[in-house]
Amino acid sequence: MISQKENGAGPSVFKRRALPLGKLAIPPPGTVHLWFLDFDRLGNPLQGDEQAPASGLNARQARALRRFYLRLLLGAYLGVPGKDVEIARRVSGKPVLAGAAAGSGLDFSNANSPGCCLVGIAAGAPVGVDLEVAGRRVQDPLSLSRRYFSAAEAREIAALAPERLDEAFLRAWACKEAVVKAAGHGIANRLNRFSVSCVPSEPPAVRSMDDDDPGAWRLAMVQPSERHVGSIALRQTALSLEAFRLDAPGKR
């Protein structure tokens, strides 16, 4: 288990769980189950062949594949087949369980990057996740932070050495996306209404909020693969992670 203080956890922390999944235990309060899905490893059962590669899919096919595996995971927690899991969206766009599972107390969030997906599952508290390409260069992070972030965040990023700007901006962006997704707000006009820590060497944290108690939130960062970084936001006063990599049957 990864505590909130153990940020930057690498791929080795993600334990392999191969399909088929049996009944999964619902996370206890303060714990997020984090799942990393590499679709090229998992294959594409929607093509009628579980070993079929998932690369080269168009946008509609990729969306259907992500939804298939998300419902499969949620079904394992709910004790029902994935095809029976109903997902709806709030007005803000946040996906939620619907139908018979609407009152289950299970909350989830997913984030996509080409060919892969990160899913966070929690119980009794809103959870949000984001997934970004590690080491991604940002065009003019100082101007972007002044435009989209809070004034405090923009000042903190501007005070860093030039070689750290990309990393700081990316981490702040990932954490803020996770918070907004957990809270169920749209991105527009929300990113500058709260502040997170931006210095990469410091533990991620929510520093201030216009319309909520920042102390009610916890953040964490992980590295689910060599190519990706992920962020997790949970509206609880403690945060531990149990991280898994979903694999097809027989994968090593």
Domains of the chain plus CATH, in order, are 2-247 (3.90.470.20)
The pLDDT score that the predictor gives to residue 50 is 58
Q: pTM surpassing 0.75?
A: yes
Reported as a single tens digit per residue, the pLDDT across 154-175 is: 999 999 999 999 999 999 999 9
Give the rounded percent of residues in the chain with a pLDDT score beyond 90.
77
- Beta bridge partners, 16, equal 245
Left, alpha or beta for 137 (phi > 0: left; psi -120 to 50: alpha)? Answer: beta
- What are 240's two structure tokens? 């531990």
Assigned token pair, 195: 């502040």
Mean pLDDT of the chain, nearest integer: 91
Preceding peptide of 45 cis, ω within 30°? no
pLDDT in tens, 118-151: 999 999 999 999 999 999 999 999 999 999 999 9
How far apart are the C-alpha atoms of 149 and 136, rounded to whole Å? 18
Phi, psi of 84 (to 5 degrees): -90, -5
Given a cut of 80, whether residue 198 has pLDDT beyond it is: yes
Note the pLDDT of residue 6: 43
Nearest Cα to Cα of residue 246 among 73, 36, 12? 36
